[in-house]
Chain A
Amino acid sequence: MSTKMIAASAAVASLSMLWASSALAATELQWWHAMTGANNEVVDALAKEFNEKQSEYKIVPVFKGTYPEALNAGIAAFRAKQPPAIIQVFDVGTGVMMGAEGAIVPVAEVLEKGGYTFDKSKYLSGIVAYYSKPDGTMLSFPYNSSSPILYYNKDVFEKAGLDVNNPPKTWPEVWDAARKIKTSGAAPCGYTSTWLTWIQTENFAAWNNVSYATNENGLGATDVELKFNAPLFVEHFQSIADLAKEGAFRYGGRTSEAKQLFLSGECGILTESSGGLGDIVKSGLNYGIGQLPYHEGEGRPQNTTPGGASLWVFGGKSDEEYKGIAEFFNFLSQTEIQSRLHQVSGYLPVTMEAYKATKESGFYEKNPGRETPIQQMLNKEPTENSKGVRLINLPQVRDIMNEEFEAMLAGQQDAKAALDKAVERGNSAIQQALGN
C-alpha cells in the first residue's frame, strides 16, 4: 500500500474525528493509563468529576493494559501520528520518554499555556527531582508513587520464637530471622521478595547511599556506566544466593509474583511495594509492617526512591488542547484530590499539603503502616545516590539483571559473576540504545 493512501485514510480519519469533536463542543482529551482494579476506579472518578465541573474540556480515560503495554501503545500511537493528550508512564519508562525530546511537551510548559505555574515547592522533593531535567525543567506530572517496605507474618514469627513487635531492621537481621523461620519449621521458607531489581538494586542503592550508576544514577546525563557490582551489592546478593541454597529464601518471579508466597503462608517475611498492601489486608493474614531493611553503616538508612508513574503530555496538539490539559493538571494538584488519591489508592501523596491533611485527619493512626513508605522517602535530603535511577533503557537493563539473578539463584554462578555480567551486558545495551 502506498504512503499516499495511508496519508489519505489518516486524513479522513482525523477529519471525521474533527467533526465528531466539534459536534460535542467540548474538547476531548484522551488519557491513556495502566491502572487496574480499585486504582482504575479512581481514574474514572477523577475524570468524571473534572468533566462535571466544567464543560469546555472532556477527559476520556482509556485503559491500555500493563505499564509497559501502555507505554508501547503511546509510542505506537505517536509513530502513527495519533497520540493521546496525556499518557501515564511508569518510573522505569521515564528515561525512555525523556530521550524523546520533540515527542513530548514538558509539563511546566503545558501549565504555562493554561496560565498556571508548576510550583515545585508544593511537591515532595524526591519526586520533583526524579521527574525533572538536569536543568530543573519539570517534565511530567507526578501522579502515583510507591515505595518498598517489609511485611512479616506475625503468626510465623511467634512460632519461630522471633520478636513479634520488632521486625528485623537490617539485612543481616533479615537473614538470621529467615534462617530461624526455616530451621524452626515455622514456615517452609523464611524470606522472599518481589521485584529484585527495583527493591534490591535501585532502592537498595538509595537506601544504603551507594552508587547504582555514574552521573547521579543517570539523572545528570544519559551516558552512564553501571556500578551495581560494587562490594556491598555482591555481599548482599551472595547472602540471598546462600539463603536460596538453604531453602530459607524462595524466588517468586521477576515482578510481584512473590507476594503469593507470603499470602499463602509459605514465606514468613516479604519485601514488597507499599502499593501491594491492599491484597495483604484482604487476605486476612496477621501481618506487620516494617521499614525496608538496610546494611549498617555511616548515615544509613538514607531515603528510598519514588516508584510509581507520572503523566506525560505529547507534542503536536493545539493550544486549546494544552489549555485543557493544564486545567486538568491544576484540578489534580488540589490538596483535596491528592489526599483522596492517597487514601483510596494506597499510593503515596505527591504534595506536602496532601500528606499533612491526611496526617491531620488521623488516617495514619487508623491505618498503621501507611505512613512508613512516606517516612522512608522523606527520611533525609536525597544525595546523588538516592534520587532514583534513570536510564534510557531501564526496562532492558532490568531484564538483563533478572536473567543473571535467575542463573545465580539456580546455582549456576555466584553473586560476583552475576553482577559483573549484568553490569557488562547492561553497559553495552545502554551504549547501543544511545546509538553509540
Chain B
Amino acid sequence: MQNVVFPNKILPYLLVAPQIVLTLVFFFWPASQALYQSAMREDPFGLRSTFVGFANFSAIFSDPNYLHSLQVTVVFSILTAALAMGTALLLATAADLVVRGRSFYRTFMIIPYAVAPAVAGMLWLFMFNPAMGTFAYLLRRNGVMWDPLLDGNQAMILVVGAAAWKQISYNFLFFVAGLQAIPKSLLEAAAIDGARGSRRFWTIVFPLLAPTTFFLLVVNTVYAFFDTFGIIHAVTGGGPARATETLVYKVYNDGFVNLNLGSSAAQSVVLMVIVIALTAFQFRFVEKKVHYG
C-alpha cells in the first residue's frame, strides 16, 4: 500500500476537529459528569451534596430490583436481537429472490426505520392496548386473555415486538447488501453440484454473510440496550410490576421520576461499563470466528 502524505500539517487536524468536539461535548463531558455524580449523594435541587464514595454502587448491587432489571434487560435484548435479525434475514433472502418490483419491495421494507422509537411505541400501543386496541379486541374475541397491563410476559412480548419491528428494516438493508456481495458463481457452482436451496444457504450464503451478521449483532445489542427507551416508555412505562423495566429505563425512572440522582448516575456508569465490555468482548472473541472473505 502506498503511503499518502498530506503536505498541510494543520488541515487534517481541522478536518477531524468537529468530530472530536462532538465526542468531547456529547460523550466525554456527560460521561465524566455521570462518574462524578455516581460518587455523590444529593437532593434533587443540588443544594446539599455529600461525597459517598462507592456507596451508590454497593446500594444498587444489593438492590433486588436492580438485579431483576438486569435479568429483564438480558431477556429483552436477546429476544429483540434474535427476532429482529432472524426476521430481517428471512425477508432479505426472500427479497433477493424477487425479480420484478425488487426496488419497490426494498423501499417499502425500509420505511419502519424512519419511525421514531416513541412513535413506534405509540403505534403498537394503539394496536394492542387492551382498552382500545384493534388487535387486542381480536385476540380477546378468539379466547386469548390479552392484558399486557397486568400480565408481565405479554407486556414483554409487546415491547419486544415493537422494538424488533423497528429494527428489522435496518437489518434488512444490511442483509440485502450482504447478499448482493455474494458471488453468484459460487451459488451457481453449488447448484450444479446438486445442492438444494437450504443447503446452499447454510453452507455458502450464511458463512459469507458472517461479517454482516456479526456487525448487526453488535448494533442490535446496543440498540436493545439503549435505543429502546422510547418504546418502553410509550408502551409499558416499565410495568406491570417492573416486568419490562430495563436498565436504561431504570436509570431514567430513578433519576428523573424518583429524583435519586446518585443512584441513577451509578446505574448509568454500570451501563456504560457493560456496553464497553460487551462490545470489546464481541470484537475480541466473536470476530476471530468471523470469516471476512
Interface flag for A102 (CB, 8 Å): yes
On whether A99 and B43 interact (CB within 8 A), knowing A1-B29, A252-B131, A266-B131, the answer reads: yes
Q: Which of A28-36, A320-328, A397-405 has 4 or more CB atoms under 8 Å from chain B?
A: A397-405
Distance (Å) between the CB of B256 and the closest chain A CB? 5
Cβ-defined partner of B45 (8 Å) among A100, A253, A409: A100
Interface size on A, residues (CB 8 A): 38
B1 CB–A CB distance under 8 Å = no
The docked-state distance in angstroms from the alpha carbon of A72 to that of B24 is: 25
A75 at the interface (CB under 8 A from B): yes
Does B112 touch A at the CB level, under 8 Å? no
Q: Which of B43, B149, B257 makes the CB contact (< 8 A) with A395?
A: B257
Q: Is B22's beta carbon under 8 Å from chain A?
A: no
Are A433 and B150 interface neighbours, CB within 8 A?
no
Please determine whether B241 and A395 come into contact, CB atoms closer than 8 angstroms.
no
Cα A358 to Cα B113 with chains together (Å) = 53
B272 at the interface (CB under 8 A from A): no
B155 to chain A, nearest CB (A): 10
Task: Decide yes or no whether A432 CB sits under 8 A from chain B.
Answer: yes
In A367-410, the 8 Å CB interface with B consists of 393, 395-396, 399, 402-404, 406-407, 409-410
A251, A406, A409, A433 pick with most chain B CB within 10 angstroms: A406
Whether A75 lies near B150 (C-beta < 8 A) is: no
User: Which residues of chain B come closer than 8 Å to A96, judged between CB atoms?
Assistant: 44, 259
User: Is A254 positioned at the interface, with any CB of B under 8 Å from its CB?
Assistant: yes
Partner-binding segment picked from A223-231, A256-264, A295-303, A333-341: A256-264
Cα–Cα, bound, A233→B90 (Å): 53
Q: Which of A78, A103, A399 contacts B253 (CB 8 A)?
A: A399
- With both beta carbons as reference points, the residue of chain A lying nearest to B44 in the complex is identified as A75
- CB <8 Å contact, A261 and B258: no
Q: In the complex the two chains form, is A79's CB within 8 Å of B46's CB?
A: yes
Q: Evaluate whether A252 and B149 lie within 8 angstroms (CB atoms) in the complex, with A75-B259, A103-B45 already known.
A: yes
Q: Given the complex of chains A and B, what is the CA–CA distance between A1 and B24 in angstroms? A: 8
CB pair A75–B45 under 8 Å, yes or no, is yes
Determine if A72 and B256 form an interchain contact, defined as CB atoms under 8 angstroms apart. Answer: yes
Q: Among residues 114 to 154 in chain B, which have CB atoms less than 8 Å away from a CB atom of chain A?
A: 131-132, 147, 149-152
Contact among B29, B47, B151, B259 with A393 in the assembled complex (CB-CB below 8 Å): B259
Do A410 and B131 touch (CB < 8 A)? no
- Most chain A C-beta atoms within 10 Å of own C-beta, residue among B46, B241, B258: B241
The A-contacting residues of B in range 11-66, CB under 8 angstroms, are 24-25, 29, 41, 43-48
Residue of B nearest to A257 (CB): B131
Which B residues are CB-close (under 8 A) to A258? 131
Answer whether A410 and B260 are a contact pair too, CB < 8 Å, given A1-B24, A99-B43, A100-B43. no
CB proximity of A228 to chain B, nearest CB, Å: 18
**Which residue, B149, B242, B256, has most C-beta atoms of chain A within 10 A?**
B149
B131–A261 CB distance below 8 A: yes
CB of B131 within 8 A of CB of A260, answer yes
Name the residue on A nearest B131 (C-beta). A260
Interface size (B, Cβ < 8 Å)?
A: 28
Q: Is A435 an interface residue (CB 8 A)?
A: yes
Cβ contacts under 8 Å, A78 to chain B: 45-46
Chain B: CB-nearest residue to A397: B258
Evaluate contact between A254 and B239: CB separation under 8 angstroms. Answer: yes
State whether A406 touches B43 (Cβ < 8 A).
no
Interface string of A79-122 (1 = CB under 8 A from B): 10000000000000000100111110000000000000000000
Chain B 217-255 against A: per-residue CB contact (8 Å), 1 yes, 0 no?
000000000000000000001011110000000000100
Distance to closest chain A CB from B267 (angstroms): 15
Q: Which of B143-171 contact A (CB under 8 A)?
A: 147, 149-152
Shortest CB distance A419–B (Å): 14
When the two chains form their complex, are residues A403 and B242 in contact, meaning their CB atoms are under 8 A apart? yes
Is there an interface contact between A68 and B131, defined as CB atoms closer than 8 Å?
no
B159 → A minimal CB distance (Å): 15
CA of A63 to CA of B131, assembled, Å: 29
- A435 touching B150, Cβ below 8 Å: no
Check B257–A396 contact: CB distance below 8 A: yes
A251 contact from B150, B237, B257, B260, Cβ within 8 A: B150
Question: A399 contacts which of B47, B131, B149, B258 (Cβ < 8 Å)?
Answer: B258
- Nearest chain A CB to B177's CB is how many angstroms away? 39
A-chain residues with CB within 8 Å of residue B46 when the two chains form the complex: 78-79
In the assembled complex, which residues on chain B have CB atoms less than 8 Å from the CB atom of A433?
A: 258-260
Cβ-defined contact, A68 with B29, below 8 A: no
Question: Within 8 Å CB of A402, what residues of B?
Answer: 239
Closest residue to A432 on the B side, CB-wise?
Answer: B260
Q: Which residues of A contact B48 (CB under 8 A)?
A: 435
Q: What residues on A are CB-neighbors of B152 within 8 Å? A: 410
- What is the CB-to-nearest-CB distance from A393 to chain B, in angstroms, rounded to a whole number? 6
Complex interface: chain A residues within 8 A of B258 (CB): 393, 395-396, 399, 429, 433
Chain A contacts for B47, CB-based, 8 A: 100-103
* CA gap between A266 and B140 in the complex, in Å: 13
Tell whether, in the assembled complex, residue A264 and residue B259 are in contact, meaning their CB atoms are under 8 Å apart.
no
B172 shortest CB reach to chain A, Å = 34
How far apart are the CA atoms of A410 and B43 in the complex, in Å? 35
With a cutoff of 8 Å between Cβ atoms, the chain B residues found around residue A403 in the complex are 239-242
Q: Are A406 and B45 in contact (CB under 8 A)?
A: no
Q: Are A406 and B150 in contact (CB under 8 A)?
A: yes
A402 CA to B258 CA in the complex, in Å? 14
Q: Which of B151, B241, B242, B257 contacts A68 (CB 8 A)?
A: B257
A248-292 with Cβ < 8 A to chain B: 251-254, 257-258, 260-261, 264, 266
Specify which chain B residues have a CB less than 8 angstroms from the CB of A266 in the assembled complex: 131
Would A406 and B241 count as touching, CB distance under 8 A?
yes
A72 to B260, CA, bound (A): 12
Interface residues of A (CB under 8 A from B): 1, 68, 72, 75, 78-79, 96, 99-103, 251-254, 257-258, 260-261, 264, 266, 393, 395-396, 399, 402-404, 406-407, 409-410, 412, 429, 432-433, 435
Between A and B, 9 residue pairs with Cβ closer than 8 Å are: A1-B24, A1-B25, A72-B256, A78-B46, A102-B45, A266-B131, A402-B239, A412-B241, A433-B258
| B positions within 8 Å CB-CB of A | 24-25, 29, 41, 43-48, 131-132, 147, 149-152, 237, 239-242, 253, 256-260
Additional pairs, 10, CB under 8 Å, beyond known A72-B256, A433-B258: A1-B25, A68-B257, A99-B44, A103-B45, A251-B149, A252-B131, A254-B237, A258-B131, A396-B260, A406-B150
Those 3 A-B pairs whose CB atoms lie nearest each other, nearest first: A406-B240, A396-B258, A410-B150
